[in-house]
Amino acid sequence: MAIKIVFLDDSNTILKVLTYTISDLKQEGVIEVETYSDNIAFAQMLRDQTIEFDVLFSDINMPEFSGYDICELARSIEKYKNHIIIALTTEISKESKSRGKEVGFSGWITKISAPEVMRSTIGSIIRSLEAKGI
């Protein structure tokens, strides 16, 4: 069974780069990938509990509803409370990372290092989820 990864970012360019970065894993059937650029609609899907994912990578700086808000919302819903949610952002300050921990992010990746770190992180997540039988 493939691991379902969701990317949420208000930049379609970033979403295309991320999808391309892990396209080989998708082709191998190891992962399924969905991308979303409308954070308001995504927040509503969380509220309605209609979105399915094993891992969510969310941008932080998005209009109206930030990645912090998305993570906090997901953590308040029983269905998503224990899901892996990783910040994917340009933010590098200690304050930003501290706030990320407060709202419940499982990890933090800066967009500058995204391609290499993304592949490594997804590899680690896949191994961890497979060990748990997911």
The domain ranges of the chain are 39-50+57-90
91: which residues sit within 8 A by CB, 6+ positions away? Answer: 60, 61, 97, 110
- 114 — pLDDT class (breaks 50, 70, 90): low
Closest CA relative to residue 49, chosen from 76, 88, 10, 15: 76
Which of 19-23, 39-43, 54-58, 109-113 is the least confident region?
Answer: 109-113
Cβ 55 vs Cβ 107: under 8 Å: no
- 125 — pLDDT class (breaks 50, 70, 90): confident
- Give the pLDDT score at 75: 98
Helices (H), the chain: 12-21, 23-27, 39-48, 67-75, 94-103, 114-131
Higher-confidence residue of 112 and 110: namely 110
Q: Is 102 left (phi over 0), alpha (psi -120 to 50) or beta?
A: alpha
Residue 111 exposed, middle or buried by CB count within 10 Å (0-12, 13-18, 19+) = buried
- Give the pLDDT score at 134: 63
